[in-house]
């Protein structure tokens, strides 16, 4: 149960995101402002990584927060962290826009905008924030290099199968099989 | 342990990973609301991979993003909806376990789609304003929920002395109605009045005409129409 200070100013520590999200669901603009202040940097990083263009990323960030405001009442704390919920909204929108804009530009812009940001496919920058993150990092490290790289290029950088195949200079069928094997091993490892 | 993911789980895992194409993504999304098993699997994979996204170093967005969000909220919510949490006596009742359980069911849909809804959302449209399909001049996003048209210059706009005016053409029988003026090299958010919002449908189109400085003096296009485009519906 959130405290009445969910969006209050008497706390020295910022209120947890889940409380801010709950207060946002009740229409509290101040809570939403704080939610944005505490989470927009993370969401922008996620979106920018996928879209690789600041103007698109800003637009998607804006849409993501309008979605968060409108649907905050649907967030359920027992279904995962507030950050994971917000990131899912942002990622989905970013991937949709990336697919659409890439298709639109494919005709007249052969240059690959994916080259604008050189992704680092190693999991080394993982925050050791909590057990879940540590477990995922350990399990990613257990994957074969190509499996891990393919999964990270897809999830973190928004690459399609074809883009991963181009980048790793491998046939697309091989990439799909790396990803499928990697997903299975990841799941098995995380359930251990 | 099995040695492969079953078909449904593979679909969920690929959806979260982001490797499905546009039409496959749409199919998954429309299936989520009536397939709790798929929704559960998508939720599992969402949480499984989320730490990768959470580990990215934060990047501060520029201040104008927040200004636009606030402006959009002012448009979308009646004032009564924005009263303080502390004034809402009903809030604590809302927070009971029963409400949380009901919210949990909805949460699945929302965590999965970009802007899914429990009630049908007003539709969104895009229009690529161009003379040559390969070289669009402006990209317009019509957002009926935010009641605005966001117009972004994406290409070269021929220089001239007058103004570009954006028009809504609701249908073959309707006269064009002005949405506002477009700065040639700057993104602009033009508000949509309630009356105009009612005229927006998949049958509508946008057009840009060349007008004297300050816009058309008559309320109808007086100069040549230099760009036009049909509205294309976007999936929510």
pLDDT 10s digits, B91-105: 222 333 334 433 443
- Predicted pLDDT at B146: 79
Binary contact (A136, B95; C-beta < 8 A)? no
Residue B235 CA to residue A119 CA, distance in Å, equals: 29
- Predicted pLDDT at A117: 46
- Tell whether the model's pLDDT for residue B179 goes beyond 80: yes
**A107 has a chain B CB within 8 A of its CB:** yes
Q: Which CATH number fits domain A119-192: 3.40.50.10860, 3.30.70.1290, 1.10.10.10, 2.60.40.10?
A: 1.10.10.10
Mean pLDDT score, B36-61: 94
**A59 has a chain B CB within 8 A of its CB:** yes
Contacts of A74 in chain B (CB under 8 A): 103, 106-107, 109-110, 118
**A76 has a chain B CB within 8 A of its CB:** yes
Does residue B157 come out as left (phi exceeding 0), alpha (psi in the -120 to 50 range) or beta?
Answer: beta
Kindly report, as residue ranges, where domains of CATH 1.10.10.10 are found in chain A.
Answer: 119-192
**B8 has a chain A CB within 8 A of its CB:** no
Q: Which CATH number fits domain B124-234: 2.30.30, 1.10.3470, 2.60.40, 1.20.120?
A: 2.60.40
Which band of pLDDT confidence, cut at 50, 70 and 90, is reported for residue B164?
confident
- Tell whether the model's pLDDT for residue B236 goes beyond 60: no
**A22 has a chain B CB within 8 A of its CB:** yes
Which band of pLDDT confidence, cut at 50, 70 and 90, is reported for residue B45?
very high
Binary contact (B110, A152; C-beta < 8 A)? no
- Predicted pLDDT at A118: 42
Write down the CATH number for the domain with range A1-110: 1.10.1740.10
Burial of A67 (0-12, 13-18, 19+ CB in 10 A): buried
CB-nearest partner of B50 from A87, A103, A104: A87
Task: List the single range of A62-76, B34-48, B64-78 with lowest mean pLDDT.
Answer: B64-78
**In terms of Cα–Cα distance, which of B65, B234, B140 is closest to A48?**
B65
Which band of pLDDT confidence, cut at 50, 70 and 90, is reported for residue A121?
very low
Binary contact (A183, B5; C-beta < 8 A)? yes
CB-nearest partner of B18 from A55, A65, A158: A158
Task: List the single range of A116-125, B47-56, B75-84, B129-138 with lowest mean pLDDT.
Answer: B75-84
- Predicted pLDDT at A2: 42
Query: What distance in Å separates residue A105's CA from the closest CA in chain B?
Result: 8
- Tell whether the model's pLDDT for residue A102 goes beyond 90: no
């Amino acid at each position: 149960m959130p405290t009445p200070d969910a969006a209050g100013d008497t706390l020295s520590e910022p209120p947890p995101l889940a409380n801010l999200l709950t207060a946002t669901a009740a229409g509290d603009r101040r809570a939403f402002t704080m939610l944005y202040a505490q989470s927009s940097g993370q969401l922008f990083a996620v979106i920018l990584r996928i879209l690789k263009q600041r103007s698109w990323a800003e637009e998607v960030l804006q849409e993501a927060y309008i979605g968060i405001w409108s649907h905050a009442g649907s967030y359920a704390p027992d279904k995962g962290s507030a950050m994971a919920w917000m990131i899912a909204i942002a990622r989905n929108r970013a991937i949709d826009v990336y697919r659409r804009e890439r298709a639109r530009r494919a005709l007249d812009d052969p240059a690959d905008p994916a080259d604008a940001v050189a992704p680092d496919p190693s999991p080394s920058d993982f925050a050791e924030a909590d057990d879940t993150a540590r477990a995922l990092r350990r399990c990613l490290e257990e994957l074969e290099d190509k499996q891990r790289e393919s999964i990270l290029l897809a999830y973190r950088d928004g690459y399609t199968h074809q883009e991963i195949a181009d980048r790793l200079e491998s046939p697309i069928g091989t990439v799909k099989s790396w990803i499928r094997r990697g997903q299975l091993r990841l799941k098995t490892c995380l359930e251990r | 342990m099995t040695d492969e993911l079953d078909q449904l789980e593979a679909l969920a895992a690929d959806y979260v990973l982001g490797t499905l194409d546009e039409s496959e993504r749409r199919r998954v999304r429309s299936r989520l609301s009536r397939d709790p098993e798929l929704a559960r699997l998508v939720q599992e994979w969402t949480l499984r991979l989320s730490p990768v996204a959470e580990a990215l170093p934060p990047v501060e967005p520029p201040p104008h993003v927040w200004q636009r969000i606030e402006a959009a909220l002012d448009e979308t919510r009646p004032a009564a909806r924005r009263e303080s949490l502390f004034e809402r006596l009903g809030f604590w009742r809302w927070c009971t376990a029963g409400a949380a359980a009901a919210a949990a069911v909805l949460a699945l849909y929302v965590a999965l789609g970009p802007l899914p809804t429990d009630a049908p959302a007003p539709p969104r449209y895009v229009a690529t304003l161009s003379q040559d399909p390969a070289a669009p001049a402006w990209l317009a996003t019509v957002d009926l929920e935010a009641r605005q048209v966001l117009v972004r210059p994406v290409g070269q706009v021929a220089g001239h002395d007058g103004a570009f005016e954006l028009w809504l053409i609701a249908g073959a029988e309707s006269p064009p109605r002005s949405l506002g003026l477009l700065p040639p090299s700057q993104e602009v958010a033009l508000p949509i009045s309630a009356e105009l919002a009612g005229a927006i449908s998949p049958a509508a189109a946008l057009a840009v005409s060349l007008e004297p400085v300050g816009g058309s003096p008559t309320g109808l296009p007086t100069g040549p129409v230099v760009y036009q485009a049909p509205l294309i519906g976007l999936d929510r």
